Amino acid sequence: MVSFMPQTMNLQNDIPRHIAIIMDGNGRWAKTRGLPRVQGHRAGAESIREIIDAAKELGVEYVTLYAFSSENWSRPSSEITALMRLLEQFLESKRKDLMRQNVRLLAIGQLHRLPPATRKKLDQVIEQTKDNTSLTLVLALSYGSREEIVDAVRSIAQAVADGSLQPGEIEASHIADSLYTAGMPDPDLLIRTSGEMRVSNFLLWQISYAEIVIFDKYWPDFRQGDLFEAVAQYQKRHRRFGAL
């Protein structure tokens, strides 16, 4: 499917380096069609393919997808098992595509909580794509921003206890460098689907100055044209970062 860019978008003008997406609404998409929830997650995988293509076309450097939150572990075990299998299938089926498209895969979150088979497949694809340079696709898995910040504080506290850092020396950069996203630029644009108006414990530190665009449609219906429209909205905004 070919999607046309909005006339208001300028490829020469302020393309976001990093786009973060809360992929919401898979289950509700399935429910409205009388399908099992897992079918919604399966349909959402097609949207990921579209967004990778669109981001590459725009020249975006990083795309971070909120794929599985730390709170999602409270879902029924049957759904979690199905989601982990779907993730493994996605990684296996997309591995060749990522190499062909020169896309690097990374993952953030408490990855040690993933099932061994899922973690093994994830590590394999990360290793295989580590030298790719056109786009970095980041999957937030078993991820929660509060947990991330707690882990960062623990790391800094350990450095203080070891004597390698003094309390008075702690700055914002120490926290940023201790987060799962260390070394990545902060998101410029945060997109959420399904019309919900919240950030759901996602990249709370990193999105401090991100522009936010909300779409009413569910994630499985999100396509290239929607990403282009979000970037067009982003380009219309004046990012002051607290200044005038």
Active site residue 26: no
Choose the catalytic residue: 10, 24, 221, 226.
24
Q: How many Å apart are CA 142 and CA 201, to the nearest integer?
A: 12
Q: How many Å apart are CA 27 and CA 38, to the nearest integer?
A: 7
Q: How many Å apart are CA 17 and CA 21, to the nearest integer?
A: 13
Q: How many Å apart are CA 47 and CA 29, to the nearest integer?
A: 13
Token readout for 95 is 């591995």
159 CB burial (10 A radius; 0-12, 13-18, 19+) = middle
Q: What is the largest CA-CA distance in the chain?
A: 59
Choose the catalytic residue: 72, 123, 177, 186.
72
∠ CA 37-41-46, nearest 5°, is 145
Token readout for 175 is 């926290």
Active site residue 72: yes
Active-site residue set: 24, 72
